[in-house]
Homo-oligomer: A and B are copies of this chain.
């Protein structure tokens, strides 16, 4: 099945959903340019989700993608949370934050019946998932309105699992990718594979189309991914400086430095493993620290530190998500970037 026909797009370019740095505007711009724009929905309330979808529907007639997480929410653990706040207490003192005022909410929910109810009003043509797939009955609802289903694999085993569970295409996420790793069968970082090795092995193992992700920054990268057997690419980092992205000022500044070349996988900002530019918190606690509570609980205690530091133009406590190749970041419109990525 040709992926452009499958997804109804002209260009083999999918804009990666990036929660926290974009909303409908970026998705609309990419879809209108002929690629597939994506709306990250993991941090949206049902009201916000409906609001965003209304804007997309009023601003484009092209296909678009909505992305959800499908993690199993962890049971809150008071002792783990206490240890985490204890570890962060020198920073709370430094910024004059009263630890008792810090909320416990993480703000990230897995795909749900309520979200599916909202989607049903809009019938988005593509729904993508991170961390596996939701329950079969939720997938059936999406199929019911003709929605195509994508999910992320970080290993051949995950790709085989996703194919067996009926996805229409697989996003092969190499270790270079920025943001959260979509792994779900094994949480062993050792099993994580570079894009160059991952794409051809997944292509060889499944019969659905494969979308390459991780380290793809320009038209040459897109062409190389296609050579490796990918049917399309999913690109996030390169869009972070686009006019339509809501990337914060500290994040934009960080992306333009030479030091943006040094990223690491870290669990400090959410409890899940994600790649970002190395900053103060990652240096001081180590990028991977077992004291951080399980995904997504770690983020609650970081939030006030991040807010205070960003108000002082510092990204010391911000998740500066980025992949291992920021050379494609450009301060241009997403329309222009999408065309450039497609070699037009």
- Interfacial residues of chain A within 267-282, with CB under 8 A of chain B in the complex: 278
- A75 CB, nearest partner CB in chain B, Å: 28
- Asked whether any CB of chain B lies closer than 8 Å to the CB of A195, the reply is yes
Are the CB atoms of B220 and A196 closer together than 8 Å? Answer: no
| A32 within 8 A of partner (CB) | no
B195 contacts A195, C-beta separation under 8 Å: yes
CA distance A155 to B197 in the complex (A): 18
Set B155, B221, B228, B261: member contacting A200, Cβ < 8 A: B221
Q: B194 touching A324 by the CB < 8 A rule?
A: yes
Which of A190, A216, A217, A218 counts the most chain B CB atoms within 10 A? A190
Cα(A325)–Cα(B190), bound, Å: 14
A40 contacts B by Cβ under 8 Å: no
A216 B191 Cβ-Cβ under 8 A: no
Contacts A200-B220, A224-B227 given; indicate if A194 touches B195 (C-beta within 8 A).
yes
Instruction: Knowing A224-B225, A229-B220, say if A176 contacts B200 (CB, 8 Å).
Output: no
Chain B CB within 8 A of A5 CB: no
User: How many angstroms from the CA of A190 to the CA of B282 in the assembled complex?
Assistant: 11
> Of all chain B residues, which has the CB nearest A227?
B224
Extra 20 A-B pairs, beta carbons < 8 Å, given A194-B194, A204-B327: A174-B194, A175-B175, A176-B193, A176-B197, A190-B262, A193-B324, A194-B195, A194-B196, A194-B214, A196-B196, A196-B216, A196-B221, A198-B324, A200-B218, A200-B220, A201-B261, A201-B325, A201-B327, A224-B225, A224-B227
Pick 29 A–B contacts, CB within 8 A, sort by A.
A175-B175, A175-B194, A176-B193, A190-B262, A190-B264, A190-B278, A191-B262, A194-B214, A195-B196, A196-B196, A196-B214, A196-B221, A196-B225, A196-B325, A197-B215, A200-B220, A200-B325, A200-B327, A201-B261, A201-B325, A201-B327, A204-B327, A220-B227, A220-B228, A221-B228, A224-B224, A224-B225, A224-B228, A227-B227
